[in-house]
Amino acid sequence: MKLLPLALLLAVVACGPNSEFGRTIDPSTSQGYGLYIHCGAEWLGRWNGTYWRAEPPDRSDFAPDEWQAVATQDTVWVSLALSSDGQVITATANGRTITYAPSAEESPKCI
């Protein structure tokens, strides 16, 4: 059996196909996620049927130095947590946390 190279595996996890609802996250647990930060960390993507944007929004090419320091192939593994009221997702890696809020806008495509 042939194993996928790590870079390809990370790209599939971070940019893989989404259902109409997107990925799901439960407020009672935290979960790991490979976030592709090539185009910045302003958008978390679609979770629980909603697009999530950094609060306050940063410029589109921003990713914290702490995240860039531990990124592999432009992907950083973050720990996600959804607030009990479902209105905030925090993403933490290497001691730096970004807070995301629901957005009425759809996240732009990263090329």
| Cβ neighbour number for residue 23 with a 10 Å cutoff | 16
pTM passes above 0.85: no
* Average pLDDT for 77-81: 97
Per domain, the residue ranges of the chain are 6-103
CB atoms within 10 A of CB 71: 20
pLDDT score, position 22:
81
Which of the four pLDDT bands, split at 50, 70 and 90, describes residue 93? very high
Q: CA 45 from chain center: how many Å?
A: 6
Residue that wins the pLDDT comparison between 84 and 22: 84
- Residues whose CB falls within 8 Å of the CB of residue 19, separated by 6 or more in sequence, listed in order: none
Could you read off the pLDDT of 8-63 as tens digits, one per residue? Answer: 333 333 443 344 568 999 998 899 999 999 889 999 999 999 999 998 876 656 89
pLDDT score of 60: 58
